Amino acid sequence: MNPAPASLTPALAQSRFMKAVRREATDTTPLWIMRQAGRYLPEYMAVRSKVTFMELCKTPELACEVTVTAQQVLGVDAAILFADLLPILEPMGIDLEYQKGEGPVIHNPLRTGRDVDRLTALATVEPLEYVFQAVRMIRSALAADIPLLGFAGAPFTLASYCIEGGGSKNYIHTKSMMYNDEGAWNMLMSRLVDSVIIYLKAQIDSGCQAVQVFDSWAGCLSPADYRRYVLPHTRRLIQSVVPFAPVINFLTGNPALLPLQKEAGGTVMGIDWRIQLDDAWKIFGPEFAVQGNMDPVSLYADIPVLRRRAADVLAAAAGRPGHIFNLGHGVMPDMNPDHVKTLVEIVHELGAEHKTSAAS
């Protein structure tokens, strides 16, 4: 079991989410939703329309407002810190810009071993103090029984951004460095891991009850490549953080990697929709909680269909302790917020029925 973070009060310890993390019985299935504070919510857009994305991320009062409002409006069982995966790279030497309509752009990508030499691991998290100020504000503003989740990008996903300079379909530059200059690759991954470790620990120290590691891009890898180039680094990251708080290890895009995801470790295994939840749980084994895994596009369906699709995920979990409902990735920007609110109600309603059936 993980030792409790310093901020884990009795009310938080007995919350639905934290009990599910520990694989204890709950009254219903807890859920939170990736990108639950996002452009689909009018409450978010009321704030976002006044500032740039980076201004929102770097203004603790605004990050607090959109985080807390999303949790309250949706009625989910946990809040997740409003932040982004990439600003951690700025104090490491990466020139990052968020361009309208283009997303994040890195103007000095790392394409060679010599480029990697100019990336420096964080010696201190002081340049990211705005994140920890937001965490403290959010923790103070949330209800006493609503956990706050922190997060960071996994080393492969961060490395891919650094090397590609933005999004990618084929990860040609990333894989070329992996294959052609394994020494430079391992140096890059090690510096990222060192930095993410102290970043996540600081989030926990500031008031997060659990953290999620997002490996949003690792699905592009074969199992053999993941084992050789990624697994040792991700495992070191998770092993360094899990003594301080529960870690959700979220990997998307390739169910063939699930056995290796298990080897990388974590407290909770986060999965996407490309595998049945019960099949994934068989791979992970009963010692892990499992988070997931409805396809986000399901939210576009008519409500009866949405209800059926949520019911299918809950049926696969079969009421066993340790299931945290989530989408297989984030909410789309044009989503009808009423559908998201309805999903929360459906999961709480049907989750309670499954828990009752499992207990009888």
| pLDDT tens-digit readout, 242-284 | 999 999 999 999 999 999 999 999 999 999 999 999 999 999 9
Question: Looking at 22, 39, 228, 320, which residue is catalytic?
Answer: 39
Query: Which CATH code fits 10-359?
Result: 3.20.20.210
Question: Looking at 16, 23, 40, 48, which residue is catalytic?
Answer: 48
149 - beta bridge partners?
80, 210
289 - beta bridge partners?
268
* Of 248, 234, 241, 199, nearest in space to 80 by CA: 248
Tokens found for residue 24: 């204890």
pTM: 0.96
- Residue ranges per structural domain of the chain: 10-359
Q: Edge-to-edge, what's the strand order for the sheet holding 323-324?
A: 79-80, 148-153, 210-215, 247-251, 268-270, 289-291, 323-324
| pLDDT tens-digit readout, 6-41 | 678 999 999 999 999 999 999 999 999 999 999 999
Residue 35 is among the residues annotated as catalytic for this protein: yes
Taking each helix axis from N to C end, the angle separating 182-206 and 231-241, rounded to the nearest 10 degrees, works out to 20
Tokens found for residue 115: 């480029």
Distance CA 82, CA 60 (A): 9
Higher-confidence residue: 358 or 48?
48
| pLDDT tens-digit readout, 320-344 | 999 999 999 999 999 999 999 999 9
Residue carrying the six token digits 């310093």: 6
Work out the pLDDT band at 5, boundaries 50, 70, 90: confident
Question: Looking at 40, 44, 139, 161, which residue is catalytic?
Answer: 161
Residue 48 is among the residues annotated as catalytic for this protein: yes
- Name the strand (E) or helix (H) holding 17: helix 16-21
Question: Looking at 16, 23, 35, 191, which residue is catalytic?
Answer: 35
Three-class SS state of 2? coil
Distance CA 213, CA 355 (A): 28
Residue 307 is among the residues annotated as catalytic for this protein: no
Taking each helix axis from N to C end, the angle separating 182-206 and 172-180, rounded to the nearest 10 degrees, works out to 120
Total residues found in the chain within this entry: 360
